[in-house]
């Protein structure tokens, strides 16, 4: 078998496994996660589970390790010890192209700042992860327009980010996270930069995605309203879940 065809068959097995294990109750499972920066221990042995269709909020004081945990769950950082499984795939064992493909197909990210590309329209920004997943322009735009409809932003499709309000920009960023139908969306303070009306609209969108599509979310937040409407609230203190 050539190196390329071996990589391709690994890729197919990997992508297949994420569907085979869809019926597991815990779709995300982290065990014994430890992480230090230099001599400073940041995560000290975190266990964490999320079921499909749950909204889980991670709360806790600044510096508790919430973002570090979220980055590890999302494969943006590697733990020093412990395991993370997403739909039965041990994701911290992946690297290189396999990891990039897995992340692109399975994980959606939303950050406090929208990080939309200013020179592209709302529609084009939403389509970017779909193009990376090698979807056709037609497929990508069809899905992006569906998401714009769900968000009530269809008429904004051709607008550039600087022609949108802060709330609209953040909803476009959420649509971008959803365009590849990820098994999980990881969000770091998604409403941290929004006024209360826009924050509520964003939270209601998360709830409707959970209720209508069983979309799963893990959200780092300081927003009490969002924590209250979550299915599970996890509190972190000094690198541990308490
Ligand atoms: P939280 O999200 O709960 O505010 P973080 O996970 O962002 O906490 O950070 C936890 C601690 O880890 C903080 O003291 C922070 O300064 C430190 N930290 C985070 N990332 C790095 C890094 N790349 N290098 C060194 N220290 C870091």
Instruction: State pLDDT tens for residues 173-224.
Output: 999 999 999 999 999 999 998 999 999 999 999 999 999 999 999 999 999 9
pLDDT exceeds cutoff 70 at 123 = yes
Ligand 1 atom at minimal distance to the Cα of residue 61: 3
Q: What per-residue confidence (pLDDT) applies to 218?
A: 98
206 alpha carbon – ligand 1 mean position (Å): 26
Pocket test for ligand 1, best of 60, 65, 237 (most atoms within 8 A of CB): 65
pLDDT exceeds cutoff 90 at 67 = yes
Token pair 């959606």 is at which residue?
A: 108
Q: What per-residue confidence (pLDDT) applies to 16?
A: 44
Ligand 1 atom at minimal distance to the Cα of residue 71: 6
Q: What per-residue confidence (pLDDT) applies to 26?
A: 82
137 alpha carbon – ligand 1 mean position (Å): 39
**Atom 13, ligand 1: residue with shortest CA distance:** 63
66 alpha carbon – ligand 1 mean position (Å): 8
Q: Summarize pLDDT for 71-109 with one digit per residue, the tens.
A: 999 999 999 999 999 999 999 889 999 999 999 999 999
63 alpha carbon – ligand 1 mean position (Å): 6
Q: What per-residue confidence (pLDDT) applies to 154?
A: 96
Query: If 0-12 CB within 10 Å is exposed, 13-18 middle and 19+ buried, where does residue 36 land?
Result: middle
Pocket of ligand 1 (CB under 6 A): 37, 42, 60, 62-68
Token pair 């904004």 is at which residue?
A: 156
Pair 210, 55: CB distance under 8 Å = yes
113 alpha carbon – ligand 1 mean position (Å): 18
pLDDT exceeds cutoff 70 at 6 = no
The closest of 85, 51, 45 to 65, measured between CA atoms, is 45
Ligand 1 atom at minimal distance to the Cα of residue 220: 2
**Atom 6, ligand 1: residue with shortest CA distance:** 65
- CA triplet 133, 105, 163: central angle to 5 degrees? 70
Tell me what the mean pLDDT of segment 154-175 comes to: 96
80 alpha carbon – ligand 1 mean position (Å): 15
Pair 64, 237: CB distance under 8 Å = yes
Token pair 């327009």 is at which residue?
A: 145
Ligand 1 atom at minimal distance to the Cα of residue 64: 3
The closest of 27, 44, 3 to 184, measured between CA atoms, is 27
Q: Summarize pLDDT for 7-26 with one digit per residue, the tens.
A: 445 554 444 444 444 444 68
**Atom 19, ligand 1: residue with shortest CA distance:** 68
Ligand 1 atom at minimal distance to the Cα of residue 188: 2
Question: Hey, what domains does the chain have and what are their CATH numbers?
Answer: 3-241 (3.40.50.300)
Could you give the percent of the chain with pLDDT greater than 90? 86
Dihedral sign from CA coordinates of 125, 127, 131, 137: negative
């Amino acid at each position: 078998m050539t190196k390329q065809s071996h990589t391709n068959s690994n890729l197919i097995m990997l992508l297949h496994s994420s569907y085979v294990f869809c019926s597991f109750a815990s779709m995300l499972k982290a065990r014994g996660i430890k992480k230090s920066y230099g001599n400073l221990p940041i995560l000290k042995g975190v266990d964490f589970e999320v079921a499909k269709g749950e909204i889980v909020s991670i709360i806790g004081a600044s510096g508790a390790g919430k973002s570090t945990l979220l980055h590890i769950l999302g494969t943006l950082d590697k733990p020093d010890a412990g395991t993370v499984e997403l739909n039965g795939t041990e994701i911290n064992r992946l690297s290189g192209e396999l990891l990039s493909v897995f992340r692109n197909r399975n994980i959606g990210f939303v950050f406090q700042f929208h990080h939309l590309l200013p020179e592209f329209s709302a529609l084009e920004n939403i389509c970017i992860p779909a193009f990376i997943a090698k979807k056709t322009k037609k497929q990508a735009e069809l899905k992006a327009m569906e998401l714009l409809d769900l968000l009530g932003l269809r008429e904004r499709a051709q607008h550039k980010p600087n022609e949108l309000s802060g709330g609209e920009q953040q909803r476009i960023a959420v649509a971008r996270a959803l365009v590849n139908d990820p098994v999980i969306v990881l969000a770091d303070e998604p409403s941290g930069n929004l006024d209360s009306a826009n924050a509520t609209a964003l939270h209601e969108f998360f709830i409707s995605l959970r209720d209508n599509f069983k979309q799963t979310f893990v959200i780092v937040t300081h927003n009490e309203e969002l924590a209250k409407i979550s299915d599970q609230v996890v509190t972190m203190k000094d690198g541990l879940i308490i």
